[in-house]
Amino acid sequence: MCGRYTITADADRIAWRFGAERPDFEFEPAYNAAPSQRLPVITESNGRRQVVLMRWGLIPSWAKDISIGNKMINARIETVEQKPSFKKPLLHRRCLIPADGYYEWMKIDRRKQPLRIVASHKELFSFAGIYDRWVNSDGLIINSFSILTTEPIPPISHIHNRMPLILSAEQEQNWLDGPSSPEASSVREFLNEFYPYSSLFAYPVSTLVNNPRVNEPSLISPMEQTTLNENT
C-alpha cells in the first residue's frame, strides 16, 4: 500500500514539471504527506493541465459520510475497475499525483524501521491516481483522490507486498487519456499497459515520520548506519 509520501517541491516547480498552468495557491513542501491532507494533484481538461489541491482518501460521490475516505486512500490496479467506489472515477476522473518519494515500514527484529523510497534520478515523478467530487448536505464540495497500487518490483519487494503505481514520464499522458471504450475488456487492456517504475531505491529515515503531524526536512535525511545499529 501507500500510506505516506513526500512532495517537497513548491507549486511553481510542480506546474513546470507537469506542463500545467501556474496555480493560484502556494504549496508548502510536504515531507510527511498523510491521508486526509490536501495535496497537489494534476488534472487535465480539454488538453489543459491544472494543479489543484485535493483531499487524500477518495470519497465517492454517492457516499453519505466523509469518513469513508479514510478507507479509500489506495486502489489496487488488479481490481480497481470492479469496485463500485472506483469504477466511475477510473473511467472519467484519472489524475497524476506528484511525488518525489514515499515511505514504507520494514520489520527489523522487533521494531518497524521507516524507509523512504525514491527514484534513482531523485526528481519529481507521479503516482497514477483517480479522484471524485463529493457534496455534503450544506453544499460544500470536496474533491478527493486515491493512489493506485501494484505488486512491488524485485529491489523493494522484501519491504512490502504492495507499492504505488509510479508512472514513467512517457506513461503519464496515456494515463490521463484513458481507455478508448468503457467496455470491461477495453478497460482491463488499458490497465495492463501500466507497469511499475523500476529504478527505485530505499534508505532508512528517522522514526519521527511515524507521527503524521511532524512535517520537517529532517524526515527525508538518511539515517547514519551507526544510528540505525544503535536502534536495532
| Nearest CA among 11, 4, 2, 1 for reference residue 124 | 11
- Residue written as cell 524507509? 115
**3-state SS assignment for residue 213:** coil
Residues in the chain: 232
d(CA 50, CA 38) in angstroms, rounded, equals: 15
d(CA 185, CA 224) in angstroms, rounded, equals: 49
209 burial via Cβ count (<10 Å: 0-12, 13-18, 19+) = buried
- The amino acid that residue 119 corresponds to is A
The bridge status of strand 74-76 relative to strand 141-150 is parallel
Are the CB atoms for 123 and 169 separated by under 8 Å? no
Backbone angles phi, psi at 202, to 5 degrees: -120, 150
Are the CB atoms for 125 and 159 separated by under 8 Å? no
Active site residues: 2, 104
Backbone angles phi, psi at 122, to 5 degrees: 60, 30
- As given in the structure block, the three cell numbers for residue 57 are 482518501
CB atoms inside a 10 Å sphere around CB 171: 18
